[in-house]
Amino acid sequence: MFQISRGLRSALRILVGLIWMFSAFCFLLLTRIPVLLPWLAVLPDWLARIAISFVVSPGFIILSCILVALSSLLLWHRFSNKWATIFAILIPFLLFIGTVLFGDIDTQGTQRYVTDAAQRGDVRSTREQILVRGGSLNQLKALIYVGTNVNVRDPQGRSALYWAGRTGGEPERIKLLLQAGAKPDGRALVNAAFWGSLDGIKLMFEATPDDGKALVTEVGNQALEANKTHTRASASDRAQIAQMLIARGAKSNDQK
């Protein structure tokens, strides 16, 4: 009976280690770019170059997961069975919560723009692509503070203002970019109209010398059609966006 019990305990400890390893893998894979890398990128250039290259390497995740799994073995030596069991459950649970709250599933395929630059040790490009993808407001402020170009685009031609207008947009983020010198472009306007970012569009128009008339001349018709597409925005916001665009010369397909 003692031999079976000891074997079962060993199997459970191995299982705990594997669960910790898997939890750490998910946490690091999904949070290193939206959470960790932006802060490493604003370190002094020489240190940032080393840190970002290391963090995006596969070896970093593998080594970290192994260390997390090995650390689970300390539970059975440092704590009573009761506390060891509590920690065995608590740690992966916290990692899971952290992954859900801060993780970023790359549905747009843009993470590779960050990782490619980071693997090369290209600090400037890493900062630029992180800024384009967005992040917390504090991260954005930090990237702007170290002189990151706010008018840079990703390889698909999408700007930071484009991404800031996504899913309705955050006026604070758009305002911060504009104050730092970001220039509204046609794609950003169409995207903001698609997501119903009324405040974002107002800010973009205010940031142009002609109150957005040139932008509307360029892509106003597209923006007007895009504004009809996405029903997630309120009807009131969509109506106001349409009025703003039409007042600056946009015409819908029905008016042509």
Nearest to 120 by CA among 21, 34, 53, 51: 53
* Mean pLDDT, range 32-51, rounded to an integer: 95
Residue type, 132: V
pTM, two decimals, is: 0.87
| Sequence-ordered alpha helix ranges (H) in the chain | 2-31, 37-41, 45-55, 58-71, 75-78, 81-102, 111-119, 123-133, 137-145, 160-164, 171-179, 186-194, 198-206, 213-229, 235-247
- What's the CA gap between 31 and 97, in Å, rounded? 12
Residue 253: per-residue pLDDT: 62
Tell me the CATH number of domain 150-247, given options 3.30.390, 1.20.58, 1.25.40, 1.10.1240.
1.25.40
pLDDT (tens digit per residue) in 6-24: 778 788 889 999 999 999 9
* Mean pLDDT, range 101-109, rounded to an integer: 89
> Where does the pLDDT of residue 67 fall: very low under 50, low under 70, confident under 90, or very high at 90 and above?
very high
Extents of the domains making up the chain: 2-102, 150-247
pLDDT (tens digit per residue) in 221-245: 999 999 988 667 888 999 999 999 9
Residue type, 225: E
- What's the CA gap between 130 and 32, in Å, rounded? 12
159 phi/psi in degrees, rounded to 5: -95, 175
- What's the CA gap between 110 and 49, in Å, rounded? 20
